[in-house]
Each structure stands twice: as C-alpha cells, then as structure tokens.
Amino acid sequence: MEYPGLIMIDASGFLQKKHPLDRYNELTEDVSHEVDHQWFYGTVGSDEYMEPWLDEGLTNFLENGVYDLTYTKSKAYCANLMHSKFYSRKNVKRANKILRENANAFINKNQKANYINYPVNNPPKGVDTEDMAYELGMDFPAVLKVAMGENKFFDALHDYYQTYYLKQATTQDFLNIIRKYDNSKKVNDVINKFIDPKYLSE
Ligand SMILES: [Zn+2]
C-alpha cells in the first residue's frame, strides 16, 4: 500500500519455501509498484476515483523500469542465486522483441478500442475495473512508447512530471503533453483506441 513518503508491503509470501523465484518476483514487483506511486499520485496527483488508470496504469508501467527488469541485472542476479537461468540476457531480449511486435501489431491493425479512462464504479462493459486501471492502463503508455519511440516518450513523461509536480493532473493534461511531443496520426490512433472522449474533463 502506498502513502506519500511511505510504502507498506506484506512480505510473508516471500518466506514461503515453494516457488521462491515467483515469490521473489511478486515481492520486487510490489515494492517497485508502491515506490512508483511516489511519482504518480504522490508527486503528480490525480483523481484516483474518476481516472484510476492515471496513477495505477503509469505506476504499473514503470514497475519494470524501477527494478531494471528489462535489463534485469538485479533480477538475473537473484535468479542465479536460485539456480534459474530464466532472466538471461537472451530471454529478456526475446521477451522485449515480442512485446514490441505485439505493440506494433496493435498499432497497425484495426483492433477494437480498450477504453481505460472510466471511473472506478463504471468500467466499460465487459471489462473489470482492475483490468481497466492496471492492465490496460499499463498497455496504453507501453504502446505509446513504441508508437513515439523511447526518447520522445520519456521526454514527454518527464515533461508531464515536471509540469504537474505537486499539482493535480487529468487524462486530458497527459494527452496534451503527449501531443506536444508527437501529434502524428499514429499516436492519435493509439490515443483513440484507449481514451474515450466522453470521459475527458477539461
Ligand atoms: Zn497501485
């Protein structure tokens, strides 16, 4: 659970002897997730009830970055201690390639929209609130990163953080910053697949 300047983690699962690597992954992901909330909601505030994706989605997306899971130094080290070769450089490279291909397939195909900017009590039909805020909410920045390219995407994310430092941001504010860096059709197509204009506030 996250609070500004404080996180609380139940580590009891980590002490279980079964599947130590899975337990380790859960723990690092939980710690990473709650630390990420120090940026999104802790420093850049947002309405957690009306736009839950804005802090949970960005936080979920950043989990890997904080613990360096994409390059996986810390994870590979612990996996090695547990005699697992799962987080080898080769496997991580392969996983990242698949993620990129999936994102590109999503961008290029005429896939149906997965709206994420609905309130907690009213997710889109057939979608669970948690999936909307956490999973699809994470997919949006992940696909944007591929559509914009890493440099532009992270420049925009830094700008969003600095612009709304100790302020409250909305989905519309996030989109304005993204479009400041890339207002191409490709990026707007991604935005239209995730964001329902019906729920955008000014
Ligand atoms: Zn969270």
- Residue 194 CA to residue 187 CA, distance in Å, equals 11
Measured CA angle at 150 (ends 144, 156), to 5 deg: 70
| Structure tokens, 131 | 């999936």
75 C-alpha to ligand 1 centroid (Å):
21
With beta carbons less than 8 A apart as the criterion, state whether 18 and 87 touch: no
1 C-alpha to ligand 1 centroid (Å):
7
Band of the pLDDT at 73, cuts 50, 70, 90? low
Position 176 pLDDT exceeds 60: yes
132-151 pLDDT per residue, tens: 999 999 999 999 999 999 99
70 C-alpha to ligand 1 centroid (Å):
20
36 C-alpha to ligand 1 centroid (Å):
8
118 C-alpha to ligand 1 centroid (Å):
17
| Domains detected in the chain | 18-199 (1.10.390.10)
181 C-alpha to ligand 1 centroid (Å):
27
83 C-alpha to ligand 1 centroid (Å):
31
Measured CA angle at 156 (ends 152, 158), to 5 deg: 120
Q: Name the residues around ion ligand 1, CB cutoff 5 A.
A: 56, 59
85-132 pLDDT per residue, tens: 666 777 777 877 888 888 888 888 877 778 999 999 999 999 999 999
* pLDDT at residue 75, as a whole number: 63
Residue with more model confidence, 15 or 186: 186
59 C-alpha to ligand 1 centroid (Å):
6
